[in-house]
Each structure stands twice: as C-alpha cells, then as structure tokens.
Amino acid sequence: MNIYVGNLSYKMTEEELEAVFGQYGTVLSAKIVVDRETNRSKGFAFVEMENDAAANQAISELNNKELGGRNLRVNEARPREEKPRRASRY
C-alpha cells in the first residue's frame, strides 16, 4: 500500500521516515518529495508498505502524531490525477 505523509518536518530524512514506519511492518520505499531547484524537502512524502494491514495500522497510529515538532497527516495515497500538460512557451 502506498501512504501519503504530510506536514513533515523539513529536517526529516528518508532513513528516519523508514524507521518510523518500519515499526509497523516492512517498508518497501520511503521517498520525501523535494523541490527540483533548491533540493529542499517540500514537507511531504510517500511510504510504500508491503502489507496492507500493517499500513492501515501505521496510518491509524501515526495520523496527527507529533513528530519533529509537527503533527503528521497520514493517509492512503490517492492515485495521481492526470493534469493536462501545459503548452511550451517556446
């Protein structure tokens, strides 16, 4: 299951995120989304877990939990909506 994690501390690392979710089950990947130009965290991430039951437990226990001075927003990730591509200006 793919999990959305929002309101992350900008100092959080992918290793720390994986460790937090790893308490609930096997983490397949933990990816913090970063700004392409500044390479800084955008304050949200996606965690993929092997087992849906473990993922649901992590969601219920970590949603609104304070971590790194911020209350996390944790829920099942929704599929990305296809946005129409912007026309090139060139």
Q: What is the pLDDT of residue 82?
A: 72
pLDDT at 90 over 70: no
Domains annotated for the chain, with CATH where assigned, are 2-76 (3.30.70.330)
How far apart are the C-alpha atoms of 9 and 70, rounded to whole Å?
6
pLDDT in tens, 40-78: 999 999 999 999 999 999 999 999 999 999 999 999 998
User: Which of the pair, 65 or 81, is modelled with greater confidence?
Assistant: 65
**Region for residue 17 given its phi and psi (left: phi exceeds 0; alpha: psi -120 to 50; beta: otherwise):** alpha
DSSP state of 14: H
How far apart are the C-alpha atoms of 50 and 36, rounded to whole Å?
28
How far apart are the C-alpha atoms of 86 and 46, rounded to whole Å?
25
Contact 10, 43 (CB under 8 A): yes
Averaged pLDDT of the chain = 93
What percentage of the chain exceeds 70 in pLDDT?
91
Number of H helices, E strands in the chain: 2, 6
Q: Which of 5-9, 59-63, 84-88 has the lowest average pLDDT?
A: 84-88
pLDDT at 89 over 80: no
Contact 6, 44 (CB under 8 A): yes
